[in-house]
Structure 1
Amino acid sequence: MHRIEATRGDAPLTTQDVDRIEQLEQHIAALESENTRLRAGAELNSRTVEHLAQEAVRCSEERLSYVLAIRTVGVMFWGQGFALTDVNEAFLHMTGFTRQEALGKTWQELTPPEFHEATWKAVNEVTSLGETTPYEKQYVRKDGSRWWGLFAARKGGDEVVEFVLDITARKEAEAALRLSEARFRAAVEAMQGRLWTNDATGRMVGEQPGWAALTGQSFDEYQGYGWTSAVHPDDVEPTVEAWRVAVAAQRPFGIEHRVRRQDGAWRLFALRALPARDDTGEVREWVGVHTDISNRRAREAELRELNETLEMRVAQAVAERAHAEEALRQSQKMEAVGQLTGGLAHDFNNLLTGITGSLDLMGTRLRQGRTGELERYIGAAMTSAQRAAALTHRLLAFSRRQPLDPKPVEANRLLADMEDMVKRTHGPGIALEMKLAGNLWRTLCDPVQLESAILNLCINARDAMVEGGKLTIETANIHLEEACVAPHDMTPGSYVTISVVDNGAGMSPEVLARAFDPFFTTKPIGQGTGLGLSMVYGFAKQSEGHVRVISNEGQGTTVKLYLPRHRGEASDEDEGTGLASVPRAEAGETVLVVEDEPVVRALIIEVLNDLGYQALEAADGPSGLRLAQSGQRIDLLVTDVGLPGLNGRQLADQARLTRPNLKVLFITGYAANTTQAGGFLEPGMGMMTKPFSVDTLMLRIREMIEVRAG
């Protein structure tokens, strides 16, 4: 500090002036020192305040980050216009929005319309009061679904902070509880029963309005076991005993007993009670219902009586219907038998007349010594006999009792071999076309019967085309599903079809409906037996197949034969039809003949003897078995299948116990258990169908013996 050299004009300063100046200088120096100190303090305070402010900001940001990091509570910051300025991760998780999508949204966008009014109330509260009371409302997620939240808000400066807790699970649980209670009330009302509760020991405690309304008992009257006074005296003891057992066992309880209602009437009630358990499984009380079943029991009694009456009437009606059905079946059977026997009698009388007439003339000519004409009469008798055999064969085919010898058959090859024969049968006026499918499957059937069936169909087609026409024979592979075969009694699977198609007269619906009936024919008398289609039908069914006829009057007929596909190897057999001269027996060869028909047995024995065989004979199964079990030499057993006492198959089986290598030739007209030779015959066995020629029988006997000898 500079010292003040003060003067007053030209006059020198006085001592007093100097003192004052010195005092002033001291004062100024003091002020300058204080000013320096104050400036240093102000500089220090400024730095402290800045540090404190920065620290406050850091703490505030940490607290904000902590709030925003809360995972269970959603936090929202609303700015002007109540638009979102910031949110925490919990809120984003609750709504499904990203942060960028959420920022700027208004509360109206996040709130369903029905909750706008309540939200406006909260907005007014926070605006005017600075905070809200907690509210429940729904929020909208990004995907449009809704969730329940419990929220509260507080105003802080220019922003409003909202905190929300997701209470969706609680609200759903409450709704489920309300629904359960509503269902329970509805169930009780639907039962039209009276609800009551007992304590864990089975005593009625507390207010029981349901029981009081039912019985009219007061609170004091029904407490404990007082409720039993409203139960019929005869039902009290069994009810109490059963109730105590159920309480002790802690299991559901049910019984029926009579209860006196408030109006004094005794009514029958069904009692049902269930134990109510706590979380530990301990029974806390029993909840029961009394349901009036008096009217139901009365109706049940009436229904039982009515049912008994109805059952009696139904039984009577069933018996009457069964009697009527039996009478109808008997009538139909007699009609069928009459039709069958009438047709048989007509045809067999004609055939027998040819046979007996020829034999009569043969006898007359022998007595007259005119033997030159015998050959003609013998031929006529044989023709009639063969026609009789064919008729019998057709009958057996229709009844599905003909003996079959199924073999793997190439249908295309069989039809190709038949082509010339079919052409000769039809003549030049009918054109034949063969449409044979490539890669046709094999089928398993009797080739002889198949050939006969096809020939029958071709003859029927020829007769339907009086003025000529076109006959088509077609083959195909087909696979039938369950829906296709169910109406026709067939098995689903693969089939070979053989179709015979003509463009002849066709059939009317009435004729088509009877096409398979035996002895039904539209041909003139003497030109048809009516067994052709019935024979085809019987053969197809016996071969596990089917036959279908499609026909329209004036447009022609298609007969389609279905035969099951055979997946085995083809048969190498190619049977010849020519007969060689019958060879004689070798020394000592013996044949046992068991036949119950004396004429047939005598003929076979005679021919065997003529050919040099030793012949043993028996008229029934037991006699034949005794000879088979003897020590005599037997090279072949020839036996009928249908024998008295012991059938042919039983005879063969027992004979083979002592003669394991015995060859057996069965001869049969029909037998229910031999209709499929392939399943009936074992190695070393053969079968022939009556009638047969003597030469054919002897050739077969020779073949079987030679095979055994070889």
Structure 2
Amino acid sequence: MRPYRNVDDRIDGVVITFIDITDRKRFEENLRASEERFRVLVDTSAQIIWTTDAEGAAVEDSPSWRSYTGQTYEQLKGWGWAQAIEPGDRDQAQATWRQAVETVAPLHNEFRLYHAPSREYRWTEVRAGALCAADGTIRGWVGMMSDTNEQKLAEQALKDINETLEARVQERTQQVRDLASRLTMAEQEERRRVSQVLHDDLQQLLYGLQMRLRMAQDKLKTQDNGDLQELLAGTQAWVVQAIETTRQVTVDLSPPILKREGLVDALGWLKRQMKQLHGLDVEVSALQPPDILDEDMRVLLFQVVRELLFNVKKHANVDQARVELDQTNAQVVIRVSDSGDGFDLAVMEAQQDEHPGFGLFSIRERLRLLGGHMEIDAAPGTGTSILVTVPLKREAEKETSQAASQ
């Protein structure tokens, strides 16, 4: 409203102007309502809600922060809020916050915050985002924190349980492997014992019987006892055959070279045996000759290769096979292959219960107990290739394992 004057500067009337400010009033009322809702939300929320300026410094009071941490507004403003964080987490929390402010990236972090009611530091999860003006400039930050202490403790307890279970599983696995190793050695010791009995007792008795038969034959040569001499000659032949059989069984049960020499030399002996006794030509090659200090592992691998070669002779319908040896820093690798008939692995697995003994699947299980494994590549008409791998076990590890089991 303003007065209207004439040329003589006298007031002749008044001009009144009306401006519609309904939208502005409505906007102000909505803004006040929004601010009130935010204030109520902050005051009643179970979360800790806070705001900072564009540089990340606290400039406004936060009742929920004060209620949780016990800090006063004077203590929390600026960067004073960091004093409520557990000292061991403080540097990380501040560095993460500064990086978020500098990069204008949403913040997500976890740290331990002092909880005044319980007088302890509790795990909290914090999330924050930037408030942007219409022109894109940062006006400030709003953050929310949640008490996740119970969840964190539950997660840690579950982690501890899992670690304990894993440790127990590893311990039991090692115990099973040690047991398998001891069983292998016990089997080998029993083989040696039987071999020794055959050599020292049975063979000596057979030699004595052979000598007595020769003496009887010599005495009967001067007499006309043709039928009796023929009977003695036949008995003598049987004794010779029995001696040869016990000698061969003695060697098969416990090859002397296996104890004296390494695995490569033992397989060289096995190669000669397979050719002499079974007519199977075996090619043995060693890219990196395995250095196996453990006798039980050496015995097991020898038995595995021998059984696989027996399988070639019995089932592959060929007279040639190949054995390849190698060693890496962590394991011994052996491949036994042939170009024979092959077989259907699925059918073999389905019938394994019908063929008990030290066969393919028995080999695989024994290797698995010792930390090794076996891969079978076979198909009808395409030959068979079996890869055996076992972890190296040094002498120091063996002594440690034996000490732990005592």
Q: TM-score, normalising length from structure 1? A: 0.25
Which structure: greater helix fraction?
Answer: 2
Higher relative contact order (CA 8 A, sep 6+): 2
Q: TM-score, normalising length from structure 2? A: 0.39
